[in-house]
Structure 1
Amino acid sequence: MTGKIELKWGAFIGGANLAWLYAAFYLGMRDNGLGLIQLSALIGAVISVIGYFLALRAVHRAAPEATSIENMRSGVVICGITTSIAVLAQVGYLRLIHPEYTNYIVDEIARHYESSGQSKEVVAEIVEGAQKTYGFHSCLLQAGLGAFLMGIISTFLFVALRIRICR
């Protein structure tokens, strides 16, 4: 593997997800209820999976003789780049684009549980947990882990499919 392919595709996948995160906000998907937030996250996951399959296809075409382990290594390198960009994108999103995100999501969660008839005590406990779950550092961790797991799983699936098809 050349390394350039991995760098290019890692930057492409990370950049595509960064663009989607910001576009989803400006399209109103990140501040119009929990359902749209979940939909925007699902679309981001689809972008990642498609990106990884295209990236690993490019890696395979550049070195068709590469072993599955070498293809996995390329996927991990792409994943590292994409994960780094995901965390940096989240910093920009939470600090510059949507700094009130934590308060917004906590309020939405509280409103959801209040409307479902939960007691004030239960809602207070849920709100306390949501403040931790959607705080700045937790969101960075979620972005990093989400990008990492998406990359590793996509890479594994691509390599497994390649092994299966080549048999």
Structure 2
Amino acid sequence: MNEPHVSPGGRGRPVRFGDAWMTFEMHPPHRVVTLGGELFVYEAPGLRAALDQAITEDSGDLILSTLEVSSLDSTCLGALMGAVTRLRQAPGHRVLRVVDCGPVAKILRLTGLTEVLDLYPTVNAALLAASKPLTQTQSSPSDRACAAPRTATRHDTRAAPAPASTL
């Protein structure tokens, strides 16, 4: 199995593992990990190893951009939740901040994981939040910025009713 090695700094070429790839970029003390492709059970060990190494080597928040991920299964969701646990156990208040407005964001909302994961529409928004000190009154970010305006489709039962016909 091809487990990626997290380079200590800078943005490197994409590291491929299975049907997925990742890149790493330092924004001291935070690290941005960009994921792409399909993340299924075969890719989970590589994802877990890369997240573990980033958590061990860095002292800031871990920002995970999944904007390029086309699909994600429960095994990889488990790897993300394991990263959340390890970050919470690490010294300091460290957070896994997920950047997505697509399929991964939808999965996180449907599974209720947005209650424990911070979701952002852009890497810049996540970096900005990571640079601010946390206060007890600060709440988790809303993923409303990701929500696209609702448009009715022919399969949408909540679409506006058809105009009443006249007799």
**TM-score of Structure 1 vs Structure 2, range by shorter chain:** under 0.3
Return the structure number with greater helix share.
1
TM-score normalised over the length of structure 2: 0.25
Which protein has greater RCO, CA pairs closer than 8 Å, 6+ apart? 1
